[in-house]
């Protein structure tokens, strides 16, 4: 890529950071150019973030209507899914799925709740409830 | 305490950046592009059975840690690599090494590093950085994909080093035990290039190398039958793997072109300079492909995505890239 063509679109996902891109100068020599981002990349990142938000939003409604335990929302709120959470806690998926049932979640031992809170990086208190609508539980 | 003589540098990619900065610190001047090329890390793999957030793994480089290991093997560097089962022990060892004035490479998760921009924090566990000192409770960190050095609290780094899951870092720390004073480029460069070209062209499995690119193209051609939301997420996922993850642009193809250029100059070989120019063109084609993907993602419901056009574009990229490797494999690099 020609260094004059390195995109400098100041994309929001970089939050004012710059990324190193390899490009050629007028003599064809490669140098590193600091790029403020390419809108193509920004769109792809935002698409992924919006999908995570959409899943968290759906999860919120399911918890709010009492269908599943708050753990289900916080998993998505921390940009995880069942597979990621299972790997991060070292627990079987079926076991975590059981804990999505509100009755069972309520009766979990303090130690187990702490394990989830620790993995998700939130407090036990926050894990056991829903944050106000439209907010993250962190 | 911190290692005063250490100099941070801005790199495209974490693992090659870390190794380049580390080698320079220990007296061996190796650019990031040379680290990347000499470790033979250029790859392509499309692994439909390994899922990241429900989407298949698409990689433009070889496995994490392959750069560290490849560099050891090809250049005769000796690295100490240590993992831990106990997080506290991992922190203790890191602090001990820093106290001795060592600069230490570490593997971490991206999600748990507080200095990452919120919108870039995903659950990716194979990030690499250098810890070069500690002040109070803060580690002084040279994260090569950032322009300037950063800081991170002790517990936050410990959490990032000890997440579980795919490619779990297990607290991995690494630093060189032996760094050669000079390198016989005339031997090492041709060997690394031939091996890499062979790996890309003559893959035994249909999902890696050039065959992997073609397998992905075929998959894209069939996306029209899938749920439109999934299809668009799939296309966006390709762009992210190619551009968002620090690749220096076009999924490491520009870094490799830079390596070929530097190698050509070191050996005085015009064939390498030519191959570098060809690889630059290939990189530009990958970027055109990414642009096409972005336009497809943007498209409204009323405009159906032309998946077969995307497939054809990617197939033409595969053809152009294969031509570079054939030239390198058949040519005389000595």
- How far apart are alpha carbons A28 and A1 in whole angstroms? 10
- How far apart are alpha carbons B232 and A45 in whole angstroms? 12
Q: What is the pLDDT of residue B142?
A: 97
Any A CB within 8 A of B170 CB: no
Say which CATH topology domain B14-30+78-178 has.
Cathepsin B; Chain A (3.90.70)
Report CA A106 to chain centroid distance, whole Å. Answer: 25
Name the one residue in this structure whose structure tokens are 């990086």.
A121
Cross-chain CB nearest to B11 (options A20, A28, A29): A20
- How far apart are alpha carbons B316 and B322 in whole angstroms? 10
Any B CB within 8 A of A50 CB: no
Q: What is the pLDDT of residue A134?
A: 79
Any A CB within 8 A of B159 CB: yes
Strands B173-178 and B104-108: antiparallel
Name the one residue in this structure whose structure tokens are 């064939």.
B271
CATH 3.90.70.10 intervals, chain B: 14-30+78-178
Helices marked H in chain B: 14-25, 32-38, 66-75, 87-99, 154-161, 185-201, 209-221, 228-239, 253-267, 270-298, 307-330
Cross-chain CB nearest to A51 (options B164, B233, B243): B233
Widest Cα–Cα separation across chain B: 64
- How far apart are alpha carbons A1 and B313 in whole angstroms? 18
CA distances from A30 to A3, A45, B183, B259, B320 (A): 9, 27, 22, 9, 20
Phi, psi of B289 (to 5 degrees): -60, -45
Report CA B210 to chain centroid distance, whole Å. Answer: 18
CA distances from B69 to A51, B105, B108 (A): 36, 13, 17
Give pLDDT < 70 ranges for chain B: 1-4
Across B12-163, the runs of DSSP E, i.e. the strands, are 42-52, 55-61, 78-82, 104-108, 127-135, 138-142, 150-153
Write the pLDDT tens digit of every residue in A26-67.
999 999 999 999 999 999 999 999 999 999 999 999 999 999
Q: Give the angle A78-B109-A82 at the CA atoms, nearest 5°.
A: 40
Q: Which residues of B touch A120 (CB under 8 A)?
A: none
Q: What is the pLDDT of residue B3?
A: 66
Q: What is the pLDDT of residue B2?
A: 65
What chain B residue is nearest to A21 in terms of C-alpha separation? B248
Burial degree of B29 (CB within 10 A; 0-12, 13-18, 19+):
exposed
CA distances from B252 to A92, A126, B185, B245, B258 (A): 36, 42, 22, 10, 10
Write the DSSP symbol of residue B240.
Answer: I
Q: What is the pLDDT of residue B165?
A: 87
- How far apart are alpha carbons B233 and A51 in whole angstroms? 8
A 10 A CB-CB count for A12 gives 13
What chain B residue is nearest to A1 in terms of C-alpha separation? B284
User: Which structural domains are found in chain A, ordered by start?
Assistant: 3-37 (no CATH), 49-127 (1.10.260)
CB contact under 8 A, A79 and B123: yes
Query: Two tokens at A97?
Result: 């799925």
- How far apart are alpha carbons A95 and B298 in whole angstroms? 39
- How far apart are alpha carbons B328 and B42 in whole angstroms? 14
User: Please, are residues B282 and B251 in contact by the beta-carbon 8 Å criterion?
Assistant: no
Write the DSSP symbol of residue B222.
Answer: T
> B49: which residues sit within 8 A by CB, 6+ positions away?
B56
Q: Which residues of A touch B87 (CB under 8 A)?
A: none
> Nearest-CA neighbor of B175 among B56, B304, B26, B53?
B26
């Amino acid at each position: 890529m020609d260094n004059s063509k390195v995109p400098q679109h100041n994309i929001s996902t970089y939050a004012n950071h710059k990324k190193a891109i390899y490009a050629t100068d007028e003599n064809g020599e490669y140098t590193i150019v600091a790029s403020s981002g390419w809108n193509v990349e920004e769109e792809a990142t935002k698409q992924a973030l919006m999908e995570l938000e959409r899943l968290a939003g759906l999860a919120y409604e399911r918890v709010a209507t009492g269908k599943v335990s708050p753990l289900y929302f916080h998993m998505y709120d921390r940009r995880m899914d069942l597979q990621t959470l299972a790997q991060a806690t070292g627990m079987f998926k079926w076991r975590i799925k059981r804990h999505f049932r509100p009755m069972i979640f309520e009766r979990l031992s303090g130690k187990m709740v702490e394990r989830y809170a620790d993995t998700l990086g939130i407090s036990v208190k926050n894990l056991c409830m829903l944050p106000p609508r439209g907010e993250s539980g962190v | 305490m911190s290692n005063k003589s250490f100099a941070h540098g801005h790199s495209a990619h974490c693992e090659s950046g870390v190794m380049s900065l580390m080698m320079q610190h220990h007296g061996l001047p190796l650019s990031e592009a040379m680290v990347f090329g000499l470790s033979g890390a250029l790859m392509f793999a499309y692994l439909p059975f390994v899922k990241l957030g429900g989407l298949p793994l698409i990689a433009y480089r070889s496995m994490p840690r392959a750069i560290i290991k490849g560099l050891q093997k090809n250049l005769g560097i000796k690295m100490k690599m240590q993992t831990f089962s106990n997080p506290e022990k991992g922190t203790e060892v890191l602090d001990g090494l820093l106290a001795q004035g060592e600069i230490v490479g570490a593997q971490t998760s991206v999600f748990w590093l507080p200095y990452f921009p919120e919108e870039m924090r995903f659950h990716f566990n194979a990030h690499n950085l250098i810890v070069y000192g500690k002040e109070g409770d803060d580690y002084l960190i040279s994260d090569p994909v950032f322009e300037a050095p950063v800081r991170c609290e002790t517990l936050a780094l410990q959490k990032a080093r000890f997440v579980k899951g795919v490619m779990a870092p297990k607290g991995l720390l690494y630093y060189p035990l032996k760094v050669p004073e000079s390198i016989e480029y005339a031997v090492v460069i041709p060997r690394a290039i031939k091996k890499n070209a062979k790996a890309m062209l003559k893959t035994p499995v249909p999902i890696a190398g050039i065959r992997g690119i073609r397998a992905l193209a075929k998959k894209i051609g069939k996306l029209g039958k899938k749920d439109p939301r999934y299809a668009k997420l799939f296309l966006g996922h390709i762009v992210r793997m190619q551009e968002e993850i620090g690749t220096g642009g076009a999924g490491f193809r520009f870094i490799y072109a830079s390596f070929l250029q530097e190698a050509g100059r070191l050996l005085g070989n015009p064939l390498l300079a030519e191959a570098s120019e060809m690889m630059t063109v290939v990189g530009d084609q990958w970027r055109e492909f990414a642009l096409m993907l972005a336009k497809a993602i943007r498209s409204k419901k009323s405009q159906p995505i032309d998946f077969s056009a995307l497939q054809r574009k990617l197939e033409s990229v595969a053809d152009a890239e294969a031509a570079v490797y054939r030239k390198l494999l058949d040519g005389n690099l000595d």
